[in-house]
Amino acid sequence: MRHYETSEALLRCVGMSDSTRWLSTKEASQHLGVNLRTLYRFIDEGELPAYKFGRVIRLREPDLEHFVESARIAPGSLEHLYPEPARPAGR
């Protein structure tokens, strides 16, 4: 069996198609608009799946898109970030 045949069999086994786009950590951090250190924290804390091939870390584009959608802010959930209007003293 040739190497590429085993790779294709492995991809089918773990449910990945040949059309999966892999991103480098640099590409993923630019896509998210965060620095590399923040991206590595997301990966290390289990928030964002990543794969290590030798010394190279890669992320699947669908996983990154799912991460983005899961980070969506629900309307009305940021009230704690803006203060109540100040009331004039003595009233």
pLDDT band per the 50, 70, 90 thresholds, residue 36: very high
**Residue 87: predicted pLDDT:** 78
| CATH classification of the domain holding 40 | 1.10.10
Domain count within the chain: 1
7 in any annotated domain: no
**Residue 69: predicted pLDDT:** 97
pLDDT band per the 50, 70, 90 thresholds, residue 73: very high
2 in any annotated domain: no
Give the chain's mean pLDDT. 85
Residue 70 has pLDDT above 80, yes or no: yes
- Mean predicted confidence (pLDDT) in 2-17: 53
Residue 64 has pLDDT above 90, yes or no: yes
- Within 8 A by CB and 6+ apart from 40, the residues are 25
61 in any annotated domain: yes
88 in any annotated domain: no
34 in any annotated domain: yes
Q: Which domain holds residue 29?
A: 19-70
